[in-house]
Amino acid sequence: MEFTKITNKRINEEYYRMKHSSGLEIIVYPKKGFNSTYASIGTKFGSVYSKFMFNGREITVPDGTAHYLEHKLFESEDGDAFSKYAKVGASANAFTSFDMTCYLFSCTDKFRESLEILLDLVQSPYFTDETVAKEQGIISQEIKMYDDSPDWRVMMNLLQGLYHNHPINKDIAGSVETIAKITPAILYECYNSYYNLNNMVLAVVGAADPDEVLRIADEKIKLNEKVETSVIFPDEPYRIVKDYTEQILPVGVPQFELGFKEDSTNKYATSKELICTSILLNAFIGESSELYRRLLDEKLINSSFGNEYLEGLGYRSVIFSGESAEPKAAAEMIRDAAVKLHKDGISSRDFDNARKVVYGRLAAGFDQKQNIASELINNHFTGREIFEAVNMAAEITKEDINQRLEYQLDSDNCCLSVVKSE
């Protein structure tokens, strides 16, 4: 087995990747001058994977199972992984998103020991009735905390206003009721379905040597047979559920999210689509745009305002978020501007400025270990390549952006979510 070197002369960056004999994708991104290393291993199993086919069988699991499984993998018969990391001086964490679960660590020395802990962690499941029951209380408290979080509620309320059937409208951690149904058998079934090394990727960034990573992997990885899994999603209509949702919570300034739902497919967005969207949004409402200045001048937004493109299998939405004393007025101005944008298109000046901003942001991202590892894993699961984006940002045309606009920012298919005090 040998690594393949991937280079980008435009930004003078390179990394190495290989398909290990176990099926695990291994990606190593050495960074000269860095004295620390960041490593993450991910599996393509997130909160929306609540119904799937495994070896010809249809399986449905309770909402929150992927997040629950993430918590439980830190425990093993020979101790807790966090305690092991503490002994070698590494900082460790994990997260579950809609589409994946990742386990990670950062260290300045004892890299071998830290990577060994990581590989052991994802290969040594240990679930008992007693430990699973104990975790229910811990996660129940976490769920209740998020239920009281304005940041989280404004987002989940928006997704529930946008999506009828897709499980993205469910909380990642599930509910107190759904996690009470999780058993060791369910966790083992999900583990065996999705924690197969053929469904996983390891990314190591920083003071890392590809040959050393491979030697450790050869020693620690347990070979397993490839399994067949496929997620099942219900049909999702194009139209939103409702155009407004509101929740009362104690906040100093009302928080809002305005989401524009798109026609979704069970395919990930391409690198070109993502870059076109990024340039489009920067031209439309970036910090140097006319719309952004108008919103600021009329005190309809503050420095908390931002945007994101949320996309995955079966869902795509442009989301604007921030604080506003008048969220409905802010949303109306954005919707009206979207109507005008569809009529006029992006100007050459706005396109040129936005493309430079996006290109600079992408290039700067290659100086951040965590950002690189996250992008490597995400791109592997979505069939994209990390250098594609920066190349396309340099080569994309205004016509490409205006063509992308045809599928985005439909002012008749958006929902405003508001969290405010009484």
Q: Using CA atoms, how far apart are residues 171 and 100, in angstroms rounded to an integer? A: 14
For residue 106, the one-letter residue type is S
Helix (H) or strand (E) holding 151: helix 150-162
Q: What are phi and psi of 215, to 5 degrees?
A: -60, -45
Helix (H) or strand (E) holding 47: none
Contact of 34 with 369, CB cutoff 8 Å: yes
Contact of 127 with 72, CB cutoff 8 Å: yes
Contact of 72 with 90, CB cutoff 8 Å: no
Per-residue model confidence as pLDDT tens digits over 227-253:
989 999 999 999 999 999 999 999 999
Nearest CA among 363, 315, 327 for reference residue 168 = 315
Confidence of residue 409 (pLDDT cuts 50, 70, 90): very high
Domain 244-420 class in CATH: alpha beta
Nearest CA among 254, 267, 238, 232 for reference residue 162 = 238
Of residues 79 and 317, the one with the higher pLDDT is 317
* Mean pLDDT within 116-143: 93
Q: Inform me whether the pLDDT recorded for 224 exceeds 90.
A: no
Q: According to the model, what pLDDT value does residue 1 have? A: 74
> Considering 70, 273, 311, 323, which one is annotated as catalytic?
70
Q: According to the model, what pLDDT value does residue 174 have? A: 96
Confidence of residue 76 (pLDDT cuts 50, 70, 90): confident
For 35, the 3-state DSSP assignment is coil
Judged by phi (left if over 0) then psi (alpha if -120 to 50, else beta), residue 409 lies in left
Q: According to the model, what pLDDT value does residue 222 have? A: 87
Q: According to the model, what pLDDT value does residue 34 have? A: 92
Q: Is 70 a catalytic residue?
A: yes
Contact of 411 with 338, CB cutoff 8 Å: yes
* Mean pLDDT within 289-312: 97
Of residues 206 and 79, the one with the higher pLDDT is 206
Per-residue model confidence as pLDDT tens digits over 388-407:
999 999 999 999 999 999 99
Nearest CA among 71, 63, 45 for reference residue 135 = 71
Q: What are phi and psi of 189, to 5 degrees?
A: -65, -45
Q: According to the model, what pLDDT value does residue 265 have? A: 84
What is the residue-wise DSSP string for 199-263?
GEEEEEEES--HHHHHHHHHHHPPP-----EEE------SS-S-SEEEEE---SS-EEEEEEE--
Confidence of residue 275 (pLDDT cuts 50, 70, 90): very high
Q: Inform me whether the pLDDT recorded for 213 exceeds 90.
A: yes
Annotated domain spans of the chain: 4-231, 244-420
Alpha helices in 52-91 (DSSP H): 65-73, 81-88
Confidence of residue 132 (pLDDT cuts 50, 70, 90): very high
Q: According to the model, what pLDDT value does residue 390 have? A: 94
Residues in the chain: 422
Q: Given CA atoms 38, 44, 45, 48 in this order, what sign does their dihedral have? A: positive
- 155's tokens: 């987002």
Confidence of residue 411 (pLDDT cuts 50, 70, 90): very high
Q: What is the mean pLDDT of the chain?
A: 95
Domain 4-231 matches domain 244-420 at the CATH topology level: yes
- 208's tokens: 């890392």
CATH 3.40.50.1820 fits 4-231, yes or no: no
Per-residue model confidence as pLDDT tens digits over 160-185:
999 999 999 999 999 999 999 999 99
**Beta-sheet strands, E only, within 31-100:** 37-43, 51-54, 57-60, 75-76, 79-80, 91-96
Share of the chain above pLDDT 70, in %: 100
* Mean pLDDT within 106-128: 95
